[in-house]
Chains A and B, each alone.
Chain A
C-alpha cells in the first residue's frame, strides 16, 4: 500500500471526481470531497516524511521502467508543494459547504465538488510526475476544471473572467507544450531526469534556447508574473469565495514549482542562469511586480481584487528569491510558497465569511465589521500582519530570508524594494482595517458573526501563520533541503 502512495495520491481524487458527479447529491458530494482531501493530506505528509528520510521515491506506472514509461518521482522539492496543495485542499473543502450553498445554485453543487476534486488531482499530478508530457496533461486537467470553477461565480462577470483566463491559460499551456515538443525533438525523451542528462549535448543548438524561451513565457503566464498577470485579478475577484481561497493558495504555487523544475532540474542552473541569463529577466520583472502591483492594490475598492493584486506582488517576492539563484534566495522563494499559501488562504477565507454574511466584499459595505464579525476580521488582521511581514508571523520569516539573500550578493537596492513592498502592503491592509474597525456599524443590517464551519478552517490557517512564524525550524529546514537539491549542492 505505502509503496503505491505516489500514484494513489493522484488516482484516489481522480476516481473520486466521477463518483461525486454520479452521486449527484449536494451533501454526499461534499462528504466524499472532504474524505478525499483529508486522505490526500495524510498521503502528502507521509510522502514528505518518507522522502526527507530516504531521499527520492520513484514509481513506474504500468511497470514500464523510466525513461520509457511514465515515472512519478517524489523528492523534498515536490513533496513540499504537494503538502501545500493538500493542506489547503483539506482546509478549503470543509469550509466550502456553507460558502458554496450560499453562492452556487443547488443543482450545480455536485458538479462543483467534482470540478474541485479534479482541479486538486491536476495540481497534485503536476507536482508528482517525473515526465514532462504528463506535466502538460495534468496542467490541462487543473486549468480546465479551474475555468469551470471560476465560471460558477454568482456575479455574471465571472463568465468573462473565466473566459479571459481560458484564453490566457490556453496560450500559456500551448507555449509550454511547444517547449516540451522542441525538447523532445532534440533529445527523444520526455523523462525529466533523462532530459537533464541529454540536454547538455544539444544545448548549443538554436532549438534548445527557443524551447527554453517558450517554456519561460508559458510558465510565467501560468504563475501570473508581471506583465503576464492580466487574467488573475478578475478571476480571483469573481470566482466563488472557496475557489478563490483554493486557487490563490495553490495554482500559482504549482506553476512556480514548474519554473523551479524546468530551470533548475531539467535545464540546470548553469544553462538557465549563465547561458540564458534568466535572472536578468526575472529579477526586474519581480521587482516591478512588487512595486506596481502593491501600488495598484492600494487603490482597490473590492477587497478580493485588492488581495488579488497583492497576490501578484507576492509572486514577485517568490520569483525574486528564485532569480537570485543562491541557496539562500531559493530557500526564501520556496519558503514563501508555503507562507504565502497560509496568509492568502486565511485572508481569502475571511473574505468568504464576509461574503456569506454581508453578500459583498466591497469596502463601502464593510464599515464596522470589526465589531459585527470580530472573529472574521481578527483572522483578517492576522493574515494582513503576515502579508506585511510583521515579526512572529510567517511573512516575517520569508522577508527575513529574502533580504538576507539579497544582501549576501550585495544587492542593497533589491533589499530596499522588499522593505518598500512591506510598507505598501501595510497601506493596503490598513485601508481594510480602518474601514472595519474605525467606522460605525449599521445596526439595521443585523450582521452577525460567521458560522463556525467557516470560521474554524479560517482560524486554522490564521494560527498557522503565527505558529510557523514562531517555530520556523521545520519549514526552513525543508526549504533549505529543497534549495540545495535544486542547485545540486546536495545530491
Chain B
C-alpha cells in the first residue's frame, strides 16, 4: 500500500471527519435524523476504512480485539444501567423523567445516555464482525 499516496493521504484526511460525523449523528440525534445505531455504524466505518488502507495488523494495534469485545458488552450495560438508575430514583424502568430536576431535561439526558449505549455496542459488534471476517484465512491456501 506504500505507493498509493492518494488513498493513504485521503484516508488520513477523511477518518477524523468520519468519526466526528458519527458523534454528530449521535449527539444531535434527538433534534435531527440519527441515533445510536447509525452513529455506531459510522464510527465503525472509520476503523474499517483505516484497516482497508493500512492493514488489519495496524488497526488491531489501535483497537485490540479485546477492547472491541468489551465495547460490545459495555453498551448493553450502559443502556440497562440507565434503566436501573431510573428505578432506583423511583420511576419506572427507563422512565427518564426522574433523571434531572425537571422531566424535559431528564428525557434529554436519558435518551442521549441510552443511545450512547447503543453506539458503543453497535460499534463493538460491527468491528468484531469485520475482524472475524477479515481475519479468516482463505480455505484454498
**A binding-site residues for B, Cβ under 8 Å:** 4, 7, 11, 14-15, 17-19, 21-22, 59-63
A62/B94 in contact, CB under 8 A: yes
Q: A4-B93, A7-B83, A11-B83 provided; 20 other pairs, C-beta below 8 A?
A: A4-B92, A7-B92, A7-B93, A11-B80, A11-B84, A15-B76, A15-B77, A15-B81, A15-B84, A18-B72, A19-B77, A21-B69, A22-B73, A60-B92, A61-B92, A61-B94, A62-B93, A62-B94, A63-B92, A63-B97
Could you tell me the distance between the alpha carbons of A283 and B76 in the complex, rounded to whole angstroms?
A: 43
Interface string of B3-46 (1 = CB under 8 A from A): 00000000000000000000000000000000000000000000
Task: State the Cβ distance, B18 to closest chain A Cβ, in Å.
Answer: 27
Measured between beta carbons, the chain A residues less than 8 angstroms from B80 are: 11, 14-15
With A14-B80, A15-B80 already in contact, the answer to whether A61 and B73 are too (CB < 8 A) is: no
Name the 5 nearest CB pairs between A and B, nearest first: A18-B73, A63-B95, A62-B94, A7-B93, A63-B92
Task: State the Cβ distance, B112 to closest chain A Cβ, in Å.
Answer: 15
In the complex, 30 of the A-B residue pairs with CB atoms within 8 angstroms, ordered by the A residue number, are A4-B87, A4-B93, A7-B83, A7-B92, A11-B80, A11-B83, A11-B84, A14-B80, A15-B76, A15-B77, A18-B73, A18-B74, A18-B76, A18-B77, A19-B77, A21-B72, A21-B73, A22-B70, A22-B73, A59-B92, A59-B93, A60-B92, A61-B92, A61-B93, A61-B94, A62-B93, A62-B94, A62-B95, A62-B96, A63-B95
Q: How large is the interface on B (under 10, 10 to 19, 20 to 34, 35 or more residues)?
A: 10 to 19
B91 interfacial by beta-carbon distance below 8 Å: yes
Main secondary structure of the interface of B (DSSP, over half): helix
Could you tell me the distance between the alpha carbons of A14 and B82 in the complex, rounded to whole angstroms?
A: 13
A63/B70 in contact, CB under 8 A: no
- A-B residue pair count with CB separations less than 8 angstroms: 46
Measured between beta carbons, the chain B residues less than 8 angstroms from A62 are: 92-96
Could you tell me the distance between the alpha carbons of A60 and B94 in the complex, rounded to whole angstroms?
A: 10
Measured between beta carbons, the chain B residues less than 8 angstroms from A11 are: 80, 83-84, 93
Could you tell me the distance between the alpha carbons of A61 and B97 in the complex, rounded to whole angstroms?
A: 12
Could you tell me the distance between the alpha carbons of A63 and B81 in the complex, rounded to whole angstroms?
A: 17
Measured between beta carbons, the chain A residues less than 8 angstroms from B74 are: 18, 22
Within B56-111, which residues are at the interface with A (CB < 8 Å)? 69-70, 72-74, 76-77, 80-81, 83-84, 87, 91-97
Could you tell me the distance between the alpha carbons of A208 and B107 in the complex, rounded to whole angstroms?
A: 37
Task: State the Cβ distance, A51 to closest chain B Cβ, in Å.
Answer: 19
A14/B76 in contact, CB under 8 A: yes
Could you tell me the distance between the alpha carbons of A62 and B82 in the complex, rounded to whole angstroms?
A: 11
Could you tell me the distance between the alpha carbons of A133 and B69 in the complex, rounded to whole angstroms?
A: 29
Task: State the Cβ distance, B125 to closest chain A Cβ, in Å.
Answer: 12
Measured between beta carbons, the chain B residues less than 8 angstroms from A21 are: 69, 72-73
Could you tell me the distance between the alpha carbons of A62 and B83 in the complex, rounded to whole angstroms?
A: 8
Measured between beta carbons, the chain A residues less than 8 angstroms from B94 are: 61-62
Measured between beta carbons, the chain A residues less than 8 angstroms from B87 are: 4
Could you tell me the distance between the alpha carbons of A17 and B77 in the complex, rounded to whole angstroms?
A: 9
Could you tell me the distance between the alpha carbons of A131 and B60 in the complex, rounded to whole angstroms?
A: 42
Measured between beta carbons, the chain A residues less than 8 angstroms from B93 are: 4, 7, 11, 59, 61-62
Measured between beta carbons, the chain A residues less than 8 angstroms from B72 are: 18, 21
Could you tell me the distance between the alpha carbons of A285 and B12 in the complex, rounded to whole angstroms?
A: 62
Could you tell me the distance between the alpha carbons of A15 and B95 in the complex, rounded to whole angstroms?
A: 18
Could you tell me the distance between the alpha carbons of A61 and B80 in the complex, rounded to whole angstroms?
A: 12
B87 closest partner in A (C-beta): A4
Could you tell me the distance between the alpha carbons of A61 and B83 in the complex, rounded to whole angstroms?
A: 10
Could you tell me the distance between the alpha carbons of A14 and B84 in the complex, rounded to whole angstroms?
A: 12
Could you tell me the distance between the alpha carbons of A18 and B69 in the complex, rounded to whole angstroms?
A: 10
Task: State the Cβ distance, B72 to closest chain A Cβ, in Å.
Answer: 8
B77 closest partner in A (C-beta): A18
B81 closest partner in A (C-beta): A15
Q: Which of B73, B74, B77, B84 gathers most chain A CB within 10 Å?
A: B73
Measured between beta carbons, the chain A residues less than 8 angstroms from B73 are: 18-19, 21-22
Task: State the Cβ distance, A64 to closest chain B Cβ, in Å.
Answer: 8
Could you tell me the distance between the alpha carbons of A59 and B81 in the complex, rounded to whole angstroms?
A: 19
A10 closest partner in B (C-beta): B93
Could you tell me the distance between the alpha carbons of A160 and B56 in the complex, rounded to whole angstroms?
A: 29
Could you tell me the distance between the alpha carbons of A183 and B73 in the complex, rounded to whole angstroms?
A: 34
Task: State the Cβ distance, B47 to closest chain A Cβ, in Å.
Answer: 21
A24 closest partner in B (C-beta): B69
Task: State the Cβ distance, B86 to closest chain A Cβ, in Å.
Answer: 8
B70 closest partner in A (C-beta): A22
Could you tell me the distance between the alpha carbons of A22 and B76 in the complex, rounded to whole angstroms?
A: 12
Measured between beta carbons, the chain A residues less than 8 angstroms from B70 are: 22
Could you tell me the distance between the alpha carbons of A60 and B91 in the complex, rounded to whole angstroms?
A: 11
Measured between beta carbons, the chain A residues less than 8 angstroms from B84 are: 11, 15
Q: Which of A11, A17, A18, A19 gathers most chain B CB within 10 Å?
A: A18
